[in-house]
Structure 1
Amino acid sequence: MYRSIVPSWATLCTRCLRRQLVQQQRRRLGTAFAQDGSNIATQKVSSSAASFDPALHAAPGVTSDDRTLREIFDNSEVWSQFLRKAQNPAIPRTGLFQNKDLASPAGFKKFTDRTLAKAKQLVQKIVSASTRDELVRVVQDFDRLSDLLCRIIDMSDFVRSTHPDREIVMAAHEAYGAMFEYMNVLNTTTGLYTTLKRALEDPEVVKRYTPEERVVAEILFKDFEKSGINLPAHLRHRWVKLTSEIAELGSKFVTDMKPEKPVLYFNSSRMMGMDPFIVKSLTTCERVLIPSVGVYANHVLRTVDDPEVRKEVYLANHTSSARQIRVLEELLQRRAELGMLVGYDSYGQLGLMDKMAKTPEAVLKFLRALASANMPAAQVELAALAQLKKEHGVSGSLEPWDRDYYATKLTFAHRNRSKTQVDLNSYFSLGTVMQGLSRLFTRLYGVRFVPREPSPGETWNEDVRRLDVVSETDGHIAVVYCDLFEREGKNANPAHFTVRCSRRLSEEEIAEAAMNGEEADDGMASARRRDTGELYQLPTIALICDFSRPSWGTRPTLLNFREVQTLFHEMGHAVHSMLGRTALHNVAGTRCATDWAELPSVLMEHFAKDPNVLALFARHYHTNEPLPYQLLQDRLARDSLLEASETRHQIILALLDQHYHSSRPLEKDFSSTAVYRAVEREFSLLPHAEGTSWQGFFGHLYGYGATYYSYLFDRAIAARIWKDHFEAAPLDRDRGETFHEEVLRWGGARSGWSCLGGVLRRPELTEGGEEAMMEVGRWGSELK
C-alpha cells in the first residue's frame, strides 16, 4: 500500500535544489480546455483503443459523467460550482464520510464510546458461546468485533494524519488511543482464544462454516497464537514486556537516525562540478559545509568531479552512529527472543507463517533465484558506468562512490541525444488522468467513477473530490475521496487509506441498530447487492497525493510521468478495495498477505506505460493533440538505465532483512555490521566500502520485519502477469474479468498462490512452496 521506493540514484535536479534554497530564504524574510479525445500518436495502438467512446458503455449519463470527471479536477471554476451543495448553509451538516457523529471533536468520543459498548457486548457473547449453533456464529461475531474496532482505528488513523483542524486531530488521536488500549485488553482475554479453539476443534462446527469463514477463523487463530495468548502467565508477562521494548526501540531506531560524522568540510576549490549557486550557499570563509546525509550529500555524490571528495562523503553517508547500531542490535535481539518465546526458531519464522512465502528458507531461495536472474542485466549496466569512467580518463575499477556520479552523466548523455524537447507534463492534466483511470476500469471491469457533490461537513477540505464507484452490473459499489492537491501542513507522501472495508451487515445488526435509533452503517455508504439483496457496507477509500493546485481560469494541474505512475499505483490499491467485496471484513480488499498486497498496485504501473491505455486519455491540455508516444518511450528508457542495478540493491536489503531476523542476533558475538559486510561482499557487484555501517539508516527494518522482500516478490509477479496475461490486449474485457475473478474479488479470502495459478493458468503454482518461490525469483529477469 506504499509507493515504490525511489532509486537512490534518482536525480534531484539543480533547479530543484535552487528552488529549495530560494524558498528557505523567502521564509526567512518573512484553460482553456480541449475536447475529450482518445487517440495517441503511435503505431502500436490497437484500433479498438483509438476509437474508444465512453458513450458506448451505455449507462445513462456516462458521457456527461466522463466529461465532468475531467473538469472537476482541471477547472477550479467548475469545481467551485460543483461544490455548491457542500457550501449551502440551508442543508444540514453531516460529519466526516457522512457519519453524523464525526461533525465535531466531541462527536469522536461519542462515536468511540458507543462503539466500545457494542464491542464489549460482543466479547461477552463470544466468550459465553457453548452450543454448536453459537460456535458456528462465533466467526461472524469475531469479524464484526474486528470491524467495530477498525471503524475507529482505521478512520482515526486517517483523520489524525490528514485533517487540518488540530482539535479534530486530537479527538481522533484520543479515539485511536482508547481503542488501542481496549485491543490490549482483548489480547489478554483468554476466553476469546478458548472459544475459537473449541470451535475449530469441532469438525461438525467447521463443516458448517463457509469457505470465507474458514479462512477468517484460521487467520484469527494464528493471530492469537502469535500474540502469545496461550502462554502461561509468567511467559505472557515476558511477551508483553518484549513487545513494549520492541515498540520503544523501533521508535528510537526510526526517529533518531544519525551518522557517525554529521558534517564534512571542504575547500570550495575542491567542489568543481557542483552547482556554484549551491556551493556559495553552503560556503563560509571559503569552506563548504556538507551535511553527511540528505539532499546536499546526494548532490555531491552525483556532481562533484573530485573522487576523493565523493569518497569521503560516501563513507560518512553510509556510516551510522555507534548509538544507532546499538539500538538496532537490541531491537533485533528482542525480536529474536519474542519469536522463540512463542515457539518459533526466529522472528522471521514467526512473521512469515501467514505470508505466501511461509518460511525464511523459502524467502532466501526466492532472493537467491532473483539475484541470479538479475545478474546479467545488472552487470551490463555497471559495465557501462565503468566504461564511462574510463572514457573520462580516470583509471581504476568502478567504486561505490563513482556510481551516482557516472549514472548522472549517463542520464544527461541519454537526454541530450533526444532531438526534440517536449513538455510531456502538458499531456497529463490531472483531470485527464482521472478520466483515463475511469475509462480503463470501465474497459477491464465494467466500473466507472461518477463525481458526486459532497454533503456539508462530509469532507475535511474543500479540495477533496468525492467519486462514487458504479458497476454496470452491481450499481454503487464503493466511495473514493480524492485529496490530491498540495496544501500547507499536509503530509506529502502519496497513500491509499481504506477508511472502511466491505462487509455484509446481517439482518440482526440492522434490526438491533433500528431499535436503538441508529444506523447499522453509521450513516456511511452502504447498498444492497443486486444478486443477493443483502446489505453491504461499501468500501470507503481515501487517496492522498500532493500535486500542485490548478491555476484559477488558466491551466490545470499538470503531472510529470512519475506522478502519473504514482496515481496509477495508488489507484491499484483502491481497485483492490473496490472489487474485493467480501462478506467478512477480515479478508476484504487489501486485507491479504503482506507479500500479495502490492500486486494490484504494481501491476497498474505497467498499464500506465502502455500506449493502448494512454490512448484513452493522454492529450495536450490546450491543443488536444495526442501524446507523441516515442518521446515518452525515450523518457522511460532513460529512467530505466540503471533499473537492474537498483533492483540488485533492493535484493541486498531484502537479504539483510532476512539475516537480521533469523536466530543470529542471539549469538554472543553477533554484529549487524559484520552481517552487512558479508551480504554486500557476496551479492553486490561493487566493492564493499570497508568501515561503513549503512544498516543503521535502513528504517524499513522496523516496519517490515522479515517481509522487505515483498515488494520485489510482487514486482516479479506483476511483470509476469502483465507479460502473459495483459500485454497483448491490455484493454480486453475478458482478460480484465479473469483477473477480477481470479485475483481482485477475493481480497484475502483465497491464497495468493491459488490466485496466481488461476490467472496464469498454471495449476502447479497453486500450492506454493519453495519451488514456487524460486520460480517467481526466476521471473526476475524481466525486472532487468
Structure 2
Amino acid sequence: MLLSRGTNIFANYTRKKLRKFVKAKRHIVPTQLDNFSSHTCSVNTWSPLASAFNTKPSRMLSLQFSKDATGLFDVPELKEPEGFYLLKENAIHATQDLVTECCSSDRSRKMVEVFDHLSDTLCCVADLAEFIRMAHPQAKYSHAAEDACIAIGGLVEQLNTHKELYEALLDVYKNGDKFPTTDVDKHVTKLFLFDFEQSGIHLDEIKRKRVVGLNESILTLGQHFMNGSLQPRAIPKTKLPENLRQHFAIDGEKIIVTGLYADAHMEITREAAYKIFLYPDPHQESLLTELLRGRHEMATLCGFPSYAHRAINGSLAETPDLVLDFLTLLTKELKPRAKKDFEEMNLLKKAQYQYSKDISPWDVPYFTGQARQNKFNLNTSELAPYFSLGAVMDGLSGLLYNMYNVTLEIEETKHGELWSSDVYKLAVKHKTEGLLGYIYCDFYERQGKAHQDCHFTIRGGKLLPDGSYQDPIVVLHLNLPAPSWSSPSLLTPGMVEILFHEMGHALHSMLARTQYQHVTGTRCSTDFAEVPSILMEFFAMDTRVLRTFARHYKTGEPIPSELLERLVGSKSVFAASEMQLQTFYSMLDQRYYGAERWGSDTSTTHILEKVQTECYGLPYIQNTAWQLRFGHLVGYGAKYYSYLVSRAVASWIWQKYFAADPFSREMGEKYREEVLSHGGGKPPRAMVGEFLGREVVAENMVEALMTDLDHKKMKVEALRLH
C-alpha cells in the first residue's frame, strides 16, 4: 500500500522563459567555453566537473566511527550501523501517531496530506535501507539495513490490513474531505486507495485471506522460477559430436551449457547452445503455470477481469485493450520492415558460410554484430578515447544548462557520508531556483558490487508545511570501468547511452516539484517512468549533442565527423527486427496474463509457438521453451509492453519538440513545466496527450515508432552510399 510507489519503482512553479545561451552556433555552458575553443586544447582546459570525473578519486574514506563524522547520506543516525535501529524505531512511533491522526474525527489537515506524511516517513527509511542493504561493502551495515527493511516491510503489511485506516481513506474518496481538495489531491487519494485494495482489504475475510495466501505463494513461485531461469544446462558428452564439445565447459562426463553463445563464430555452436539451453524443463513449466494461475485468481478475487487489468490500471496505457491494439498494429507495420532485415541477414550468412540454411533465431545477434562491423568498421578502442567520463558528464551538464537552465556541480562530501571512496556527489542547481537536489554517482566497477545499472530514490521531493521543498536525493548506480593513474574512465557508446538513460531518471526526480512525495519523479507507472530516460537516449546519439563534448581525453581534439556519423549509423542497424522481437515478447506477456484463459492441457510453450507464428518473422524452433528462461515474466508481469509504449511516447516527444533543436530552452522548459514537474501527480495518459496535442492511442504511438525507424533506415542508407 504505502510503499508500492516508493520502493518498487524508480515540477516546476517557475514559469519564466529564459533566453537561450548561444555562442558561435554552439550550445554550451559558460564554464565549457574554453573546452571547445581549439581543436588542440590540452588536458588542463577541462572544466572542474570534467576534471573531477576524469581524475582517479584520491580522497580517503573511513568507515569507522569518528566524533567528527556525519552518517551515510549525511544522516546523523547512520554514523554506525546501529543507527538503522533508531531510524526504524522512530518511523514506527511516527507511524502510530499518523495512523491515529488519519482515524481521528478532529483531523486538522487533508487526509491525503496525512497519508503522504505517513508514506514519506516509511519510505525515507525503507528506500535508504534498501540501497545500503544492496550496496554497502561492509556486512554489518548491509545486515543492519536488511533488518530495517524487514521491520518496515512488516509494518506495511500491518497497515495493509488496518481496516479502520482503509475505511477512513475510502470515506474521503467517496464523500469528499472536510477540507477543500484539488484534482491532484483526488488523484493521489485514488492511488493510495488502489495500493490498499491490491491486498484485498476491501474483500470479506475468507477472500482476503485467500489473497494474502496467493501473494505469499506467488512470491515463492517467482523466486524459484527466477533461480531456475539462470541455471546452466548439463547433458551427457555423448549427445554432442567430439569436435563440438571443446566449445563448451566439460564436467566429467557432462557438457555444461551456460547460455546461448550468441557471439560464437561457428553456426553449429550457436545452434547447439540454443537447443540445449532452451530445451523444455518440466519443473520450470510447472512453476510458470502456477505463477500465472495464481496471479489470475488473485486479480479476479480483487475484482479485475485479469491480472493484466490489475497491472495496467492507472498506467499510461490505462487498459489491456489499448496495449493489445498497440501491439497488434505494431506487429502489422513491422512485418515488411523486419522481413527486409532478415533478408539482409540471410545474405550475410550465405556469404560467410558456403552451405547454410536460412537465418535462424540463434543467428540474429551474431549477424547484427557482423553487419555493424562490416558496414561501419567500428571498434571500441577507436571510439573510447573520445568518451572519457569527464567529457560525457561535461556534455550532460551543458545540455541541461541549455534545456533547463540547470547545471551539475561537484560537491565536497563530509567524513562518513559515503559508502565507498569512489562515489561523487553532484548538486543539481537551477540558475534562479537554486538547489534542486543531490545525485550520488556510484559509477565504477568494484569487487562485490552488484552488476546492475539503475536509479535509486533515497529521498523523494515534496512540498513541506512551511512552504519550503524537501529536496530529492538519488543514487545513480552503474558499472563503468574505473580510471587508472594514467587515464580516466573511457566509455563505450553503449555506456554513454546507459549513463544518459539513468540520468533521465535522476532528472525526473530533480526537476519534479510535486506537492506529494508519493508521486514525485519516477514514482509513477512503469510505462510513464521510462519516458524521460528513453528520451535522453535520443540526445545521447544525436550528432549535434555529441559534437559538444566528444573529444580525445589526451589531445582535446573533437571526434572526427566521419567517425561520429559511423557511430550514430551503427545504432540503427536492423532496428526493425529488434523492435519486432520486443513486440513478440510483449504480446506473449499479454497473452499469458490476459483475460483469455487457456485450458489445463495447454502449456505455456504452446502459447509461445502460436504467438511467435503471429508476431515474429522467424519460425518457432521445436523442442525449445525460450519463455522458461525469461525472468521478466515475474518482475514485469503484464507490463513488458512498457518499454515499447515508453519508446513510442519518447520518440513522439523528440520528433515534435527536440529533433529540430536538441538544445532549445523554450522546448525544454515547456517539457519540464507540462510533464516532468508533475511526476505521477496527474493521470499520465491525459497529461502526455495534452502535452503532445494528440490523443495517446495505438495509431499515434505506432506512427511515432515507424517515423523513428524510417529515419534510422535513411541514416544507414546514406552512409552506405558514401
TM surpasses 0.5: yes
1:615 and 2:543 aligned: no
Q: 1:606–1:47: structure 2 CA closer, same or farther, 3 Å change rule?
A: farther
**Greater shift after overlay, 458-467 or 88-97?**
88-97
Partners in 1 of 2:232 and 2:32 — Cα distance?
Answer: 62
SS of aligned partner of 1:482: strand
Residue 363 of structure 1: which of 312, 318, 323 is its match?
A: 323
Q: How far has the Cα of 1:152 moved from its partner?
A: 1.3
Q: 1:88–1:680: structure 2 CA closer, same or farther, 3 Å change rule?
A: closer
Q: How far has the Cα of 1:261 moved from its partner?
A: 5.0
What residue in structure 2 maps to residue 238 of structure 1? 210
What residue in structure 2 maps to residue 202 of structure 1? 175
Superposed CA deviations along residues 276-314 of structure 1, whole A, max 9, x for unmatched, are xxx4785799x9x7533426x3344xx1144xx543332
Residue 394 of structure 1: which of 355, 360, 367 is its match?
A: 355
Residue 759 of structure 1: which of 691, 694, 712 is its match?
A: 691
Please show how residues 278-289 of structure 1 align to structure 2 within 5 Å. Answer: 279=246, 282=249
Q: Quick one: which amino acid aligns to residue 200 of structure 2?
A: G
Q: Quick one: which amino acid aligns to residue 551 of structure 1?
A: S
What residue in structure 2 maps to residue 304 of structure 1? 266
Residue 31 of structure 2: which of 54, 67, 71 is its match?
A: 54
Partners in 2 of 1:666 and 1:252 — Cα distance?
Answer: 23
What residue in structure 1 maps to residue 41 of structure 2? none
Q: 1:622–1:395: structure 2 CA closer, same or farther, 3 Å change rule?
A: closer
Partners in 1 of 2:498 and 2:546 — Cα distance?
Answer: 15
Q: 1:233–1:729: structure 2 CA closer, same or farther, 3 Å change rule?
A: same
Q: Quick one: which amino acid aligns to residue 325 of structure 1?
A: E
What residue in structure 1 maps to residue 74 of structure 2? 98
SS of aligned partner of 1:256: helix
Q: Quick one: which amino acid aligns to residue 478 of structure 2?
A: C
Question: Is the 8 Å Cα contact of residues 257 and 320 (structure 1) preserved in structure 2?
Answer: no
Question: Is the 8 Å Cα contact of residues 126 and 141 (structure 1) preserved in structure 2?
Answer: yes
Q: Quick one: which amino acid aligns to residue 243 of structure 1?
A: N
Q: How far has the Cα of 1:587 moved from its partner?
A: 0.9
1:542 and 2:475 aligned: yes
Partners in 1 of 2:408 and 2:230 — Cα distance?
Answer: 46
Q: 1:609–1:629: structure 2 CA closer, same or farther, 3 Å change rule?
A: farther
What residue in structure 1 maps to residue 493 of structure 2? 561
1:675 and 2:600 aligned: no
Q: How far has the Cα of 1:688 moved from its partner?
A: 1.2
Please show how residues 224-235 of structure 1 align to structure 2 within 5 Å. Answer: 224-235=196-207
Partners in 2 of 1:152 and 1:225 — Cα distance?
Answer: 24
1:109 and 2:85 aligned: yes
1:216 and 2:188 aligned: yes
1:151 and 2:124 aligned: yes
Residue 655 of structure 1: which of 579, 583, 587 is its match?
A: 587
Superposed CA deviations along residues 10-48 of structure 1, whole A, max 9, x for unmatched, are xxxxxxxxxxxxxxxxxxxxxxxxxxxxxxxxxxx9952
Q: 1:751–1:453: structure 2 CA closer, same or farther, 3 Å change rule?
A: same
Question: Is the 8 Å Cα contact of residues 470 and 478 (structure 1) preserved in structure 2?
Answer: yes
Question: Is the 8 Å Cα contact of residues 346 and 358 (structure 2) preserved in structure 1?
Answer: yes
Partners in 2 of 1:696 and 1:177 — Cα distance?
Answer: 30
Q: 1:87–1:684: structure 2 CA closer, same or farther, 3 Å change rule?
A: closer
Q: 1:222–1:622: structure 2 CA closer, same or farther, 3 Å change rule?
A: same
What residue in structure 2 maps to residue 707 of structure 1? 639
Partners in 1 of 2:364 and 2:407 — Cα distance?
Answer: 45
SS of aligned partner of 2:509: helix
What residue in structure 2 maps to residue 291 of structure 1? 256
What residue in structure 2 maps to residue 473 of structure 1? 432
SS of aligned partner of 2:222: helix
Partners in 2 of 1:164 and 1:625 — Cα distance?
Answer: 39
TM-score by length of 2: 0.88
What residue in structure 2 maps to residue 627 of structure 1? 559
Q: 1:421–1:245: structure 2 CA closer, same or farther, 3 Å change rule?
A: closer
What residue in structure 1 maps to residue 383 of structure 2? 424
Q: 1:88–1:661: structure 2 CA closer, same or farther, 3 Å change rule?
A: closer
Q: 1:725–1:677: structure 2 CA closer, same or farther, 3 Å change rule?
A: same
Please show how residues 141-540 of structure 1 align to structure 2 within 5 Å. Answer: 141-203=114-176, 205=178, 208-257=180-229, 261-263=233-235, 265=237, 266-267=240-241, 269-270=243-244, 279=246, 282=249, 291-294=256-259, 297-300=261-264, 303-306=265-268, 309-391=269-351, 392-394=353-355, 396-416=357-377, 423-507=382-466, 534-540=467-473
Question: Is the 8 Å Cα contact of residues 442 and 478 (structure 2) preserved in structure 1?
Answer: yes
SS of aligned partner of 1:541: strand
Partners in 2 of 1:600 and 1:51 — Cα distance?
Answer: 22
SS of aligned partner of 1:236: helix
Partners in 2 of 1:50 and 1:358 — Cα distance?
Answer: 38
Question: Is the 8 Å Cα contact of residues 199 and 208 (structure 2) preserved in structure 1?
Answer: no
Q: 1:780–1:695: structure 2 CA closer, same or farther, 3 Å change rule?
A: same
Q: 1:403–1:71: structure 2 CA closer, same or farther, 3 Å change rule?
A: closer
SS of aligned partner of 1:298: coil
Q: How far has the Cα of 1:666 moved from its partner?
A: 6.4
Q: 1:49–1:751: structure 2 CA closer, same or farther, 3 Å change rule?
A: farther
Q: 1:589–1:374: structure 2 CA closer, same or farther, 3 Å change rule?
A: same
User: For structure 1, which runs of at least 5 residues remain unmatched after alignment?
Assistant: 2-44, 58-63, 272-278, 508-533
What residue in structure 1 maps to residue 12 of structure 2? none
SS of aligned partner of 1:748: coil
User: For structure 2, which runs of at least 5 residues remain unmatched after alignment?
Assistant: 6-21, 35-43, 710-722
Cα-Cα RMSD: 2.8
Q: 1:653–1:436: structure 2 CA closer, same or farther, 3 Å change rule?
A: same
Q: How far has the Cα of 1:492 moved from its partner?
A: 2.1
Superposed CA deviations along residues 444-467 of structure 1, whole A, max 9, x for unmatched, are 001111211101111111111111
Partners in 2 of 1:613 and 1:406 — Cα distance?
Answer: 29
Question: Is the 8 Å Cα contact of residues 88 and 456 (structure 1) preserved in structure 2?
Answer: no
Q: Quick one: which amino acid aligns to residue 259 of structure 2?
A: G
Partners in 2 of 1:716 and 1:264 — Cα distance?
Answer: 46
Q: 1:267–1:412: structure 2 CA closer, same or farther, 3 Å change rule?
A: farther
Q: How far has the Cα of 1:559 moved from its partner?
A: 0.8
What residue in structure 2 maps to residue 577 of structure 1? 509
Q: 1:284–1:671: structure 2 CA closer, same or farther, 3 Å change rule?
A: closer
Partners in 2 of 1:424 and 1:626 — Cα distance?
Answer: 11
Superposed CA deviations along residues 640-690 of structure 1, whole A, max 9, x for unmatched, are 322221111111111111111124556333321111110011111111112
Q: Percent identity?
A: 34
Partners in 2 of 1:746 and 1:460 — Cα distance?
Answer: 32
Residue 49 of structure 2: which of 69, 92, 104 is its match?
A: 69
Partners in 1 of 2:436 and 2:366 — Cα distance?
Answer: 50
Partners in 2 of 1:150 and 1:55 — Cα distance?
Answer: 38
TM-score by length of 1: 0.82
Q: How far has the Cα of 1:88 moved from its partner?
A: 13
SS of aligned partner of 1:549: coil
What residue in structure 1 maps to residue 8 of structure 2? none
Q: Quick one: which amino acid aligns to residue 754 of structure 1?
A: A
Partners in 2 of 1:665 and 1:106 — Cα distance?
Answer: 50
Q: 1:421–1:401: structure 2 CA closer, same or farther, 3 Å change rule?
A: closer
Q: 1:783–1:264: structure 2 CA closer, same or farther, 3 Å change rule?
A: farther
What residue in structure 2 maps to residue 38 of structure 1? none
Question: Is the 8 Å Cα contact of residues 664 and 670 (structure 1) preserved in structure 2?
Answer: no
Residue 743 of structure 1: which of 675, 678, 682 is its match?
A: 675
Residue 125 of structure 1: which of 61, 81, 101 is its match?
A: 101
